[in-house]
Amino acid sequence: MASLDMDHPDGPRFVADPLAVPSLKCGAMEGLKPFVAAPEHQEKLGFPGELVPDWKEKALEKMADLAKKNRAFQVYLDTCVKCGACTDKCHYFLGTGDPKNMPVARQDLLRSVYRRYFTFAGKYFPWLVGARDLTEDVLQEWYSYYHQCSECRRCSVFCPYGIDTAEITMAARDILDHVGVGQKYSNEIIGKVKDIGNNLGLNPKALRATLEDLEEDLEDDTGISVRLPLDEKGADILLITPSADFFAEPHIDGLLGYAKVFHEAGVSWTISSYASEAANFGLFIGNYENMREISLRIRQAALDLGVKRIIFGECGHAWRVAYSYLNTLAGPFDFLDQNYPVPQHICEFTWDLIQKDKLKFDKSKNDEFRLTFHDSCNVARASRMGDMPGGQFEIPRAILKSVCNHFYDMERDTIMESTLCCGGGGGLLTDDLLELRKKGATPRMTALQQVTQDHGVTHMAAICAICKTQFSKMMPEFGYEMDSIVSVHQMVGNAIILTGQETDDTEDEEQAVPA
Ligand code: SF4
Ligand code: SF4
């Protein structure tokens, strides 16, 4: 849908509205389902291999257990007053028009069953309160629509009661796993982390070879020996970063940016081959035990290597797990240097150095980029950075403005706490959900197109591995080059001047000296 912008500096014109409410398309996404996990992937995570014969009893038992242990989950199920404030706030609803992708409708898929079995009115007058029996069709509907939610929490920002649909989605997925119907993509990845240490299944030898190659590239590029250390005992800092940083663009350029910052800061640091993954898909499947097991690998790596600090690289949901849950899941971290918060984000580390004037930049190195910034959902709505409210919005932007001359924000109602999901978060970054991913990305991409139209923006920066991967795939669908998505630390790495590094100025000076 387009609207007329009468106040545009270039005169009135039609602009697409990223938040335009679509016409309803009932059943448009019905039956869309990601592949189901194979028995061996289920069992590795402690779940039944396939649908158990007594699945109904088991599902209700698990629902009761979750409602008892997670007070918020029960409050969310009991509280909704159907005010409608959340209905048009989900990017999947905006992109698909399917009314079951309205957050309140998504919640009701589970709430209606909860009411039937756990409330007085639902037990005796189900037709009065919208309660329904748990049937195999309902189970299939859960599998479909709870895998059309990226757990982004945008809807919860607009709910007057703070009802968080993401928590309900996580609970539904946990119930599904407990009856033997897990999602292939997430569960297979969790299995790889348990076996090898990262989502990619990259073994220590391959990881070492990759890092050595990158060190050579860095030296060729800068003339300076910048290290990417692996398993170095006694290093001060353990970097926990998404494994995407080891193998794909634009992630790798972000990793090179962290390495340059660490080098210039003069700190000793290391990556761990045992905990070579920041991502924690235990969050996506809503399963505490798996989330804990993955988190404990980080604690173990920190103890084994004898580090003093833990810093996380650019990964959205990993930062949520780290910031909000790491201490509960794997703490206490009393063996680390208590002068530093546990954990720290690489953006906090870099911004601290910038504020202390410890890094030198040539911003013109980024002049080919006219940048905007995509706030990743889990950073924006489920964590913080620095010691001030809103630091998670301000710090990445402050870094970008320190290293680039051209920065323009997208419309205010599509960024920061209102940010629009990339469309591939929450365990949906799989090709069997490509259609959903494109539709879900449409609001964000429309907001990007707006800022391209208004300010000539060419690139979008992000601090989340999932966002970067999703946008690399989506950019060409919306008229951009695939590499129009960049890492924040890629921009830092482009502009940083390493001590002793030859710059254009030094070359000019050398040429000016008479022979
Ligand atoms: S959490 Fe995000 S994806 Fe899920 S219903 Fe709410 S807005 Fe939609
Ligand atoms: S905004 Fe909250 S209370 Fe209103 S319909 Fe949505 S979930 Fe229910």
Of 249, 184, 177, the closest CA to residue 429 belongs to: 184
pLDDT given at position 77 = 96
**Degrees to nearest 5, angle at CA 239 with 331 and 45:** 55
Determine the pLDDT at residue 326. Answer: 97
Rounded to the nearest angstrom, the distance between the alpha carbon of 160 and the centre of ligand 2 is 7
State which of 21, 86, 92, 163 you would mutate to test the pocket of ligand 1, scoring each by most atoms of that ligand within 8 A of its C-beta: 92
Take atom 3 of ligand 1 and give the residue whose Cα is closest. 149
By CB neighbour count within 10 A (0-12 exposed, 13-18 middle, 19+ buried), where does 474 fall? Answer: buried
Say how far apart CA 374 and CA 423 lie, in whole Å.
Answer: 12
The crossing angle, in degrees rounded to 10, of helices 165-178 and 71-79 is 110
Q: What span, in angstroms and rounded, lies between the C-alpha atoms of 309 and 465?
A: 22
Tokens describing residue 411: 């419309």
Say what the pLDDT of residue 13 is.
53
Q: Is the pTM of this model over 0.85?
A: yes
Would the CB of 90 count as within 6 Å of ligand 2? no
What does each C-alpha distance from 125 to 56, 116, 133, 406 come to in angstroms?
21, 9, 12, 61
b vs e for 402-428, b when ≥16 Cβ sit within 10 Å of the residue's Cβ? bbbebbebbbeebbbebbbbbbbbbbb
For residue 209, the model assigns a pLDDT of: 97
- Nearest ligand to the C-alpha atom of residue 427: 1
pLDDT per residue over 136-185, tens digit each?
A: 999 999 999 999 999 999 999 999 999 999 999 999 999 999 999 999 99
Q: Is 15 in the pocket of ligand 2 (CB under 6 A)?
A: no
Tens-digit pLDDT profile for residues 325-339: 999 999 999 999 999
What dihedral angle (degrees, nearest 10) is formed by the CA atoms of 19, 23, 25, 28? Answer: -30
Q: 3-state class of 373 per DSSP? A: strand
Identify the pLDDT of residue 201.
Answer: 86
Q: Which pLDDT score, from 0 to 100, does residue 145 have?
A: 98
The closest ligand to the CA of 155 turns out to be: 1
Residue nearest to atom 5 of ligand 1 (CA): 103
Radius of gyration of the chain (CA): 24
What is the residue with the minimal CA distance to atom 2 of ligand 2? 159
161 lines ligand 2 (CB under 6 A): yes
Ligand 1, atom 7, residue with closest C-alpha: 90
| CA dist., res. 465 & res. 7, Å (int) | 37
Q: φ, ψ for residue 292 (rounded to 5)?
A: -70, -45
Spans of the chain, pLDDT less than 70: 1-15, 504-515
Give the ligand 1 atom nearest the CA of 164: 1
Between helix 251-265 and helix 346-355 the angle, nearest 10°, is 40
Say how many C-beta atoms besides its own lie within 10 A of residue 472's C-beta. 18
86 lines ligand 2 (CB under 6 A): yes
Q: Which of 177, 230, 225, 151 is nearest to 66 (CA)?
A: 177
Cα–Cα distance, 96 to 438 (Å, whole number): 10
pLDDT of res. 341: 87
SS3 labels along 90-131:
CHHHHHHCCHHHCHHHHHHHHHHHHHHHHCHHHHHCHHHCCC
DSSP state of 322: I
Query: What does the DSSP 8-state code read for residue 219?
Result: H
Beta strands (DSSP E) in 241-360 are: 269-271, 309-312, 344-345
Atom of ligand 2 nearest to the CA of 81: 3
Token code pair at residue 418: 């209102």
Q: Which residue is closest in CA terms to ligand 1's atom 8?
A: 90
Task: Report d(CA 3, CA 450) in Å as an integer.
Answer: 12
Burial-class residue 471 by CB neighbours within 10 Å (0-12, 13-18, 19+): buried
* Whether the CB of 303 sits within 6 Å of ligand 2: no
User: What is the distance between the alpha carbons of residues 481 and 272, in angstroms, rounded to a whole number?
Assistant: 34
Nearest to 22 by CA among 79, 102, 85: 102
What is the bridge-based pairing of β-strands 309-312 and 269-271?
unpaired
Ligand 1 centroid distance, CA of 100 (Å): 11
Q: Check pocket membership of 84 for ligand 2, CB cut-off 6 A.
A: yes
**DSSP states of 455-499:** H---EEEES-HHHHHHHHHHGGGGTS-GGGEEEHHHHHHHHB--T
Q: At 328, list the tokens.
A: 């509960």
Which residue's CA is the nearest one to ligand 1's atom 6?
Answer: 155
Number of Cβ within a 10 Å radius of residue 3 = 10
Sign of CA dihedral 388, 389, 392, 398: negative
Is 73 in contact with 164 (CB distance < 8 Å)? no
Backbone angles phi, psi at 336, to 5 degrees: -90, 170
The rounded Å distance from CA 287 to ligand 1 centre is 18
Q: What DSSP character marks residue 381?
A: H
Contact 355, 361 (CB under 8 A): no
Backbone angles phi and psi of 181, in degrees to 5: -120, 75
